[in-house]
Structure 1
Amino acid sequence: MSKPPFGFGPSDPDKRGENDPSEGGQQSGAEAFNQLGQMLSQLGQMLSQAGSSSGPVNYDLAKQIALQTLGSAGNTGESKLGFRGGDDANAAVRDAAHLAELWLDAATVFPAGATSTVAWSPRSWVEKTLPTWQRLCDPVARQVSGAWMEALPEEAKQAAGPLLQMMGQMGGMAFGSQLGNALAQLASEMLTSSEIGLPLAPAGTSALLPANIEKFAEGLELPNSEILVFLAAREAAHQRLFTHVPWLRQRLLATVEEFAHGISVDTSALESLAGQIDPANPASIEEAMSSGLLEPQTTDEQKAALRRLETLLALVEGWVDVVVAEAVGDRLPGADALRETLRRRRATGGPAEQTFATLVGLELRPRRMRDASNLWSLVGDRHGTEKRDGLWSHPDLMPTAEDLDEPIDFADRVGSSDLLDGLDPIAELERTEQAERDEKSREEKSKETPPEEGETPA
């Protein structure tokens, strides 16, 4: 299911009702004074950032809040373990990745996709993945802020005048504040750059977070080095897929954007919302926007986009699951236990994925990962690695949600079809990538070409 994206839900639901007279809370004069001081300090910080971002989300503020939150929580990435901290962490991650890549070579036709493998601290994760979050969150925030502002009566717009611009800036800061807190939570839990199934890292970069891996390893009763190699193999498998399947990265991100563009709000709540906003109190804007009054309505188009995204995520995660299992084989004694642990972690989700759901309104949880894993395993066992991986050469060849219901029928069709006979998967992927580059080049040239005299621009 989808969830209300950021700007709709409470920015900190755990704290709702604290010190609220309506909930029976009481405050002393000193407590109220201290809270007022904190609020003024935060407001000053927000106002100092007002002119630094012109988009629907103030990403400068989001980054600042995320890094400050991680710093105050003591999540610096330092640890007493040997594979964490400084050059030792980078060396351990590189060694684990090198071993994982060697093992993966025999399990898939896709060559190594990462040009660099690095150890990230949670702070680095925030800084390096922020550009991708901007692409994911912009459509949601723009649709949310635009929907309720456009729905204002015309006389209200005229009366508000410059206030609307200020409200837009304050909305951007409110979104930025919520995004910053969410990114800090995600950064403190992610194990690799691709753990949620999206290519968050810069292209060609494979990244692991040793600080978070140590916390994950607690209670598993497995050597840290073994866990590190297993996670490095999963990260490397993701990178091979994202690098050598050119349409995949774009398709995943575009489907999230498609979902966001379908967001609509119940404008009948605007009257109630307007009564909550005090133009002299910028904090009231954030409170009003997070009150849930403008909770979005899920459309049929959004449901279809969500289904496509969930299926594609399941196919990615299922393929990685099968390939890594084949690659590590009996080399890692704890591989089966780790595989099951990560399956459950992804299937049940956690605070990190719930936080992501509040950001873009989606739970990026591959609910059908086991079904997809069974399908890829079946196709590989029957038809070999080349045919299995060759299905990624074009989106039209990919299994559908219905195929996940009937994997045997899909495997039969792959065997009876001559579509993949003699197929060179890498050559097909290269042709697809070149076709996409040519199409993108034509689109850019058409934008640059001025219209003929007397012609109306499109």
Structure 2
Amino acid sequence: MTASQDRPDEPEDSGLPPELEEVLRGLTGGRDLDPQMLEMMRGMGLDKIDPQTLQMVAGQVQSMFAGADESGAVDATVATDIARKTVAAEGDPTISAATSNEAKQAVDVANLWLDTVTDLDHSGLVGRAWSRAEWVEATVPVWRELVDPIAVGVSDAMGKALTKQLGNLGEGGLPEGLVPPGINPAQMMSQMGPMLRRMQGSMFSVQLGQAVGTLAGEILTGSEVSLPLVPAPDVVLMPQAITAFAEGLEIDEPQARLLLAVRESARTRLFHVVPWLGPQLLTAVQDYARDTTIDTDAIEEGLRSIDPTDAEAMQQALAGRLFAPQQSAAQKAALLRLETLLALVEGWVDVVTAAAVKPHLPQSEALGEAIRRRRASGGPAEKTFAALVSLELRPRRLRDAANLFAALEASGGAQARDAAWAHPDVAPTAADLDDPLGYVERSTAQSTGTDWDAGLDELLRGESGDGAPEGPSAS
């Protein structure tokens, strides 16, 4: 039975193979196929494709666009699939029971060491050894939330730019046979809008998948990027990357594993115990992405001299052109919040880790320096976000933050250092990083202010320490 017999309200014969009709219907939400689109497909010779080849192409297209919505938003299923294929291509061995046990033991030891230098609770935290694919599965939903605002904006801007470009070119400016004679290219593109938005959203999903897959092969621990990608109780180590890290430094691998376990355990405690920290970090990234300006003029320039049906040519033409070079006021504010929070997280982790491992790991100084160099050269997260949303995830003021926490500790011990996380209103700001000693003085005054105020209040009320009224006694 043919497609037209199943659906008698359609033209009797579209001239296209039934398999291709089904793919096109899936991309347009089951609506009737536009005659102009059908004519364009026949003009491109798609009605003469070998059935076996067509079936293979149809399967790939359906897989790519399955579940994508018409807003151009990221499809987590597509992104996860691409990321998993990326890590599989690089090699992703299954985690053995012995490796899992090593990670669990390392985190257990790390928590014992951390208990001597911080009171932040670690109840219920468990060490895990994850494969790259496991990390991908766990973190793609968070990545999607972070980049979705920019994906929708890029999709909308590209669709408008392509429609305008085709309209400007006109029928004679397009490759021969792409559009049948007498059809307005811009009108055709407008009718194909929903399919184009799905296509652009899927392209961004593929980019995200490739980026997360690459990142999965480079990170050493679950939340090394200083974002709460892996929620408690999991404290995640990436064994394959840790082995390569230790070999590259010619450092004992068990020591490297222990130091990284301490860093990740400290970071996980922080996100677990300080409920406002993780949401504020993620919101800052989303606010930055949401207010990103898409450079439509640059997109139009990139599309001006290419065949719009050539996906690879489109990607190359748009490389580095998507985002306007100037940041908006809202983006600058979001970036300031983000950089400050990142610096505070990593500064605290540095100070606490150094105190925890110094009595136990002979190579802790060399390992700490290697981590600082790794971060200073631009870590994997920075490269990922620079490509996706034109954002660099770098704790630029890390040294200032570490100095601030060290000063707090010198002034009032570990309790004073950790009290900075008690509430967002008392947490250090970017201005405090400029004047860490001033912040320490204010924090010390606030911590002792309650007792001083109580004494002053008592004095003003004329009460003595035993509750008897002061002054001349009644006769």
TM-score range, shorter chain: 0.7 to 0.9
Note closer, same or farther for the CA distance 1:148–1:286 as it changes in structure 2 (3 Å cut): same
Residue in structure 2 matching 1:141, options 151, 157, 161: 151
On the 8 A contact 1:89/1:119 being kept in 2, the answer is yes
1:190-247 deviations in whole A, cap 9, x for unaligned?
0001111001113432101000000000143332111111111111101111011000
On the 8 A contact 1:97/1:233 being kept in 2, the answer is yes
1:283 shift after superposition:
4.7
1:378 shift after superposition:
0.8
1:137 shift after superposition:
1.2
Task: Write out aligned runs for 1:171-190 (5 A).
Answer: 171-190=200-219
Separation in 2, partners of 1:377, 1:98 = 25
1:392-423 deviations in whole A, cap 9, x for unaligned?
1111111122222221222122122247868x
Q: Secondary structure at the match of 1:384?
A: helix
Match for residue 84 of structure 2? 67
Q: Which runs of 5+ in 1 are unaligned?
A: 1-37, 79-84, 423-458
1:134 shift after superposition:
0.8
Give the AA of the match of 2:355. E
Separation in 2, partners of 1:90, 1:126 = 18
1:158 shift after superposition:
5.6
1:304 paired with 2:333, answer: yes
1:176 shift after superposition:
1.7
1:3-41 deviations in whole A, cap 9, x for unaligned?
xxxxxxxxxxxxxxxxxxxxxxxxxxxxxxxxxxx9x98
Q: Secondary structure at the match of 2:128?
A: strand
Q: Secondary structure at the match of 1:118?
A: strand
Q: Secondary structure at the match of 2:236?
A: strand
1:343 paired with 2:372, answer: yes
Residue in structure 1 matching 2:283, options 238, 254, 274: 254
Match for residue 137 of structure 2? 127
On the 8 A contact 1:317/1:369 being kept in 2, the answer is yes
Match for residue 169 of structure 1? 198
Q: Secondary structure at the match of 2:192?
A: helix
1:45 shift after superposition:
2.7
Separation in 2, partners of 1:324, 1:213 = 17
Separation in 1, partners of 2:92, 2:154 = 34
Note closer, same or farther for the CA distance 1:271–1:235 as it changes in structure 2 (3 Å cut): closer
1:408 paired with 2:428, answer: no
Note closer, same or farther for the CA distance 1:397–1:122 as it changes in structure 2 (3 Å cut): same
1:76-117 deviations in whole A, cap 9, x for unaligned?
146xxxxxx410111000001001111111211211065332
Separation in 2, partners of 1:113, 1:419 = 30
On the 8 A contact 1:69/1:181 being kept in 2, the answer is yes
1:296 shift after superposition:
5.3
1:265 shift after superposition:
2.4
Note closer, same or farther for the CA distance 1:42–1:374 as it changes in structure 2 (3 Å cut): farther
On the 8 A contact 1:276/1:284 being kept in 2, the answer is no
Note closer, same or farther for the CA distance 1:271–1:197 as it changes in structure 2 (3 Å cut): closer
Residue in structure 2 matching 1:320, options 331, 341, 349: 349
Deviates more, 1:86-95 or 1:299-308: 299-308
1:94 paired with 2:76, answer: no
Q: Secondary structure at the match of 2:345?
A: helix
Residue in structure 1 matching 2:384, options 355, 374, 383: 355
1:143 shift after superposition:
2.3
Separation in 1, partners of 2:377, 2:310 = 40
1:202 paired with 2:234, answer: no
Residue in structure 1 matching 2:393, options 364, 382, 401: 364
Match for residue 76 of structure 1? 92
On the 8 A contact 2:83/2:210 being kept in 1, the answer is yes
Q: TM-score, normalised by structure 2?
A: 0.73
Separation in 2, partners of 1:420, 1:120 = 47
Q: Secondary structure at the match of 2:127?
A: strand
Give the AA of the match of 1:372. A
Residue in structure 1 matching 2:319, options 290, 296, 307: 290
Separation in 1, partners of 2:450, 2:249 = 44
Deviates more, 1:229-238 or 1:270-279: 270-279
Q: Secondary structure at the match of 1:200?
A: coil
Q: Secondary structure at the match of 1:199?
A: coil
- Size of the aligned set, in residue pairs, is 377
Note closer, same or farther for the CA distance 1:326–1:286 as it changes in structure 2 (3 Å cut): same
Separation in 2, partners of 1:236, 1:421 = 33
On the 8 A contact 1:128/1:202 being kept in 2, the answer is no
On the 8 A contact 1:266/1:297 being kept in 2, the answer is no
Q: Secondary structure at the match of 2:235?
A: strand
On the 8 A contact 1:61/1:173 being kept in 2, the answer is yes
Q: Secondary structure at the match of 1:206?
A: strand
Note closer, same or farther for the CA distance 1:113–1:369 as it changes in structure 2 (3 Å cut): farther
Match for residue 240 of structure 1? 269
Residue in structure 1 matching 2:63, options 30, 43, 48: 48
1:104 paired with 2:102, answer: no
